[in-house]
């Protein structure tokens, strides 16, 4: 069976693509996004993939027609800010309708499988007219002759050292059966923050010898990239000093202020014996190192997102944190990709 062709829409830095590539069974032929910095990171880490830096809503149908019946899989992570439970959930946010571009590209290219990833908040989001976004996704793909199903997956079940729940839509032509990946790990087996970061020097710029399977999996280049430690103000550092492992802004003495924390993961010091909280922009969310009074570095966030040490991010430090916050964890992508390959191969054998 030849490598299966993939298009990655709203690709960002290509975490989804990276996971598909890890299987050795897929060829990502195109990555499309509109954020220059993220595309530059994508380019550096997916050297054989063509990039499209365009607003998809302004791209004509003619562009996609050349891919008709030449692509097996479309993967897509449309912007989720409008659906997020910690945002304003504005029903008029234009980003809420960008999944329509996935529908349009599907109609024009006719892939066997489409995968959409998004925050769980999408499931309860409605349009201005009161129609559920989830129901629209079902209806529009079914109108194209596809079967649709969805499920909430937790990245921690697939070897990612992070509690990150996302809704996954599996959309298939009716003669293909693709299953959701079964959990590889249960809660008592989750990869922990301590295992993920254990061989990353918290104060220097070297990797120690791997001491567990996850560290072996992440191993690559010996020099640490994207590991600049950010100094905070004296007040912020003092606030951090009062937060125990697993604690948050509520542990800060009242006389020092809350630092703007209102959500449970604000000023969150990670517990080395548990998976991380969901990785957001570490500087804005104030995600604190388990033992150091500082926010996580970009490299530490990359480890917690399951990007290996060969994956290098570009742009300024704030951009790098945002790129990781937006990304699909590669190990979650890999688990989904394995099921797609299994399902398509089974159908090929039947034919």
| Residues classed as catalytic | 80
Would you call 129 helix, strand, or coil by DSSP? coil
Would you call 151 helix, strand, or coil by DSSP? strand
Structure tokens at 300: 């530490």
Would you call 315 helix, strand, or coil by DSSP? coil
Structure tokens at 212: 């567990």
Would you call 332 helix, strand, or coil by DSSP? helix
Q: HSE of 244 in the Cβ direction (CA atoms, 13 Å)? A: 2
C-alpha distances in Å from residue 18, one per residue of 31, 114, 240: 11, 17, 34
DSSP secondary structure string, 163-187? --EEEEEEEEETT---PPPPPSS-G
The answer to whether 155 and 131 are in contact (CB under 8 A) is no
Listed residue (171, 203, 217) closest to 334, CA to CA: 217
d(CA 328, CA 25): 19
Structure tokens at 340: 């797609």
The answer to whether 288 and 268 are in contact (CB under 8 A) is yes
Residue that has been written with the tokens 């072996």 in this structure: 216
DSSP secondary structure string, 76-92? E----TTT-TTS---TT
Listed residue (101, 45, 14) closest to 328, CA to CA: 14
d(CA 229, CA 224): 12
Number of Cβ within a 10 Å radius of residue 351 = 5
DSSP secondary structure string, 177-226? --PPPPPSS-GGGPPPHHHHHTTB-SSSSBBPPP-SHHHHHH---SB--S
């Amino acid at each position: 069976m030849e490598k299966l062709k993939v298009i990655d829409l709203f690709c960002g830095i290509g975490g989804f693509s990276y996971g598909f590539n890890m299987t050795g069974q897929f060829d990502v032929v195109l990555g499309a996004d509109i954020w220059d910095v993220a595309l530059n990171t994508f380019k550096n880490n997916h050297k054989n993939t063509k990039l499209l830096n365009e607003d998809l809503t302004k791209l004509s149908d003619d562009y996609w027609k050349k891919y008709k019946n030449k692509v097996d899989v479309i993967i897509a992570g449309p912007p989720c800010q409008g659906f997020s439970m910690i945002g304003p959930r504005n029903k008029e946010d234009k980003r809420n309708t960008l999944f329509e571009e996935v529908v349009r590209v599907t109609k024009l290219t006719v892939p066997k499988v489409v995968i959409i990833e998004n925050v769980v908040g999408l499931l309860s989001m409605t349009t201005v007219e009161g129609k559920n976004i989830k129901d629209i996704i079902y209806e529009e793909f079914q109108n194209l002759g596809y079967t649709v199903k969805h499920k909430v997956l937790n990245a921690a079940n697939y070897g990612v050292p992070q509690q990150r729940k996302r809704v996954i839509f599996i959309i298939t032509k009716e003669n293909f059966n693709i299953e959701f990946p079964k959990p590889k790990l249960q809660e008592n087996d989750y990869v922990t923050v301590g295992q993920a970061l254990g061989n990353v020097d918290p104060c220097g710029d070297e990797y120690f010898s791997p001491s567990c399977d996850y560290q072996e999996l992440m191993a690559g280049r010996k020099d640490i990239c994207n590991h600049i430690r950010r100094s905070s103000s004296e007040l912020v550092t003092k606030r951090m000093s009062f937060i125990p492992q697993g604690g948050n802004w509520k542990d800060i003495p009242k006389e020092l202020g809350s630092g703007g924390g209102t959500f449970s993961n604000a000023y969150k010091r990670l517990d080395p014996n548990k998976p991380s909280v969901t990785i957001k922009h570490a500087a804005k969310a104030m995600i604190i190192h388990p033992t150091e009074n500082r926010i996580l570095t970009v490299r530490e966030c990359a480890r917690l997102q399951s990007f290996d040490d060969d994956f290098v991010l570009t742009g300024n430090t704030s951009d790098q944190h945002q790129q990781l916050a937006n990304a699909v964890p590669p190990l979650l992508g890999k688990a989904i990709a394995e099921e797609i390959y299994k399902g398509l191969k089974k159908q090929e054998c039947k034919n």
